[in-house]
């Protein structure tokens, strides 16, 4: 049914539920699972509005290490379940990078979690899932976190 499944994760409870579904689908169809995380550049708010370059580089390196560690845990779980899996760590605007990764990796489906935000939270934070659904060329399965 599927040859490649892309699972973008922000390592939240919503993503954990979608990961379990992606593993199930990959196992059932013999598909390769591509577990993805997107690092977004978010400068912290500081009193004087300035972050020294060294501190910024250290924050970026720490975020990269943390992303790689979390991805490694998910890859190991999927492999223990008998699924061919690889990790993909990207940088940029999450929805854009997810859509581009699905396209360039020829994903048959994207399986991702959604936080189910509404109202002001959705307006302020946006919805990565809704932007992916709007722009992806392949089907997108979204699972709401609980």
pTM above 0.85, yes or no: yes
pLDDT tens track for 68-98: 999 999 999 999 999 999 999 999 999 999 9
Four-CA torsion 43, 14, 36, 83, nearest 10 degrees: 160
- Domains of the chain, by residue range, sit at 4-144
In the prediction, which pLDDT does 27 show? 98
In the prediction, which pLDDT does 124 show? 39
Q: Does domain 4-144 have CATH number 3.20.20.70?
A: no
What kind and span of H or E run contains 122?
helix 119-125
User: Which positions of the chain have pLDDT values less than 70?
Assistant: 42-49, 116-126, 146
CB 28 within 8 A of CB 1: yes
Q: Which of 20, 49, 51 is nearest to 35 (CA)?
A: 20
């Amino acid at each position: 049914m599927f040859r490649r499944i892309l699972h973008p994760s922000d390592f939240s409870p919503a993503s954990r539920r979608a990961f379990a579904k992606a593993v199930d689908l990959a196992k059932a169809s013999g598909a390769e699972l591509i577990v993805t995380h997107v690092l977004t550049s978010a400068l912290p708010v500081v009193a004087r509005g300035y972050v020294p370059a060294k501190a910024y580089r250290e924050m970026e390196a720490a975020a990269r290490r943390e992303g790689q560690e979390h991805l490694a845990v998910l890859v190991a779980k999927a492999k223990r379940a008998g699924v061919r899996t690889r990790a993909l760590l990207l940088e940029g605007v999450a929805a854009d990078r997810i859509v581009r990764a699905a396209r360039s990796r020829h994903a048959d489906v994207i399986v991702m979690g959604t936080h189910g935000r509404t109202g002001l939270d959705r307006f302020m934070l946006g919805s990565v899932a809704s932007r992916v659904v709007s722009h992806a060329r392949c089907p997108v399965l979204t699972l709401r976190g609980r």
